[in-house]
Amino acid sequence: MASDRRPNFVLPSGSCDTHVHIWGPFDRYPVAKGAPYTPPERTRDDLVALHARLGVQRAVIVQTTVYKSDNRAMLDGIAASNGAWRGVALVDESFGDREYQALHDGGVRGVRFGFLPHLGGVPDIAFLRRTADRIAAMGWHLVLHVDFNSILAFEEMLRSLRLTVVVDHMGRVPVPEGTDHPAFRILLDLLRDPNWWVKVSGAERISAAGPPFRDAVPFARKLIEAAPDRTLWGTDWPHPNVRWEPDEAELVDLLPEFADAAALQRVLVDNPARLYGFP
């Protein structure tokens, strides 16, 4: 949604949007062959303009399946950010020491695996485990894009992970399922272990009521209460494959309903600085 509205809530200095994507320019960074969807062109310049409107100073670019393991658009965006951006990559079996070192030098600090059917479905679990072992040694973390079905189906595997793990979009338990849904209870239980983190992003993904997505607030509150020092926030701009495309200012204005000012300082500034190595 094109908007020029600024949020009513003023973000604390050093706030980080830990979940954004960039696509294009397509003449330089073409979409991968066989990509599960074709996105609109949304470049680093568009992201810079968005964050100027919102009052965001830092960002984490999350690689999407649109580019598969071609991380160039993300890496070039990070390189132009003067240290304000980090990245989460997609990798494949071809990646060796040289490729991982290039990602690390380029500002990448995590690898993402998705479990959603419309984005390719369940990954190769053996490859996920090998990747987890490899990146743990580098001090990186694993980012998991799961939903309530995959949390239930892979609970045993999830509980076996020992490196730092970040769960995207509150675990994508739909609001009508409620915070007592077994998958959400598993997520809260995982957060008792110090290696588990979660993003209170994706309110527009789990909402049943639509904008301004207030029905998602109880989920975010419970997650922040469970792990105030291991919760992150992000806009998920440019919002691929959503039912409602939000005005990001609305997402910022939800934040005071998620937690008090002290907790939000941790979620928005302190936690991402610790995880991603921002000063």
> Would you say 87 and 109 are in contact if contact means Cβ atoms under 8 Å apart?
yes
Tell how far CA 84 is from the center of its chain. Answer: 16
Strand pairing category for 85-89 and 108-114 = parallel
Residue with tokens 């003023």: 10
Residue 120 is given by DSSP the state: T
Query: How big is the CA angle at 138 (ends 133 and 143), to the nearest 5 degrees?
Result: 65
Strands of the chain, DSSP E: 16-20, 58-62, 85-89, 108-114, 141-145, 165-167, 196-199, 231-232
Neighbours of 155 (CB within 10 A): 15
The DSSP string of 59-75 is EEEE--TTTTT--HHHH
> Would you say 221 and 255 are in contact if contact means Cβ atoms under 8 Å apart?
no
> Catalytic residue at 46?
no
Of the listed 236, 253, 260, 270, which one is catalytic?
236
The DSSP string of 171-214 is GG--GGG-TTSHHHHHHHHHTTSTTEEEE---HHHH-SS-TT-G
Stretch (H or E) spanning 160 = helix 155-160
Q: Which of 81, 75, 140 is nearest to 113 (CA)?
A: 140
Task: Write out the catalytic residue numbers.
Answer: 236
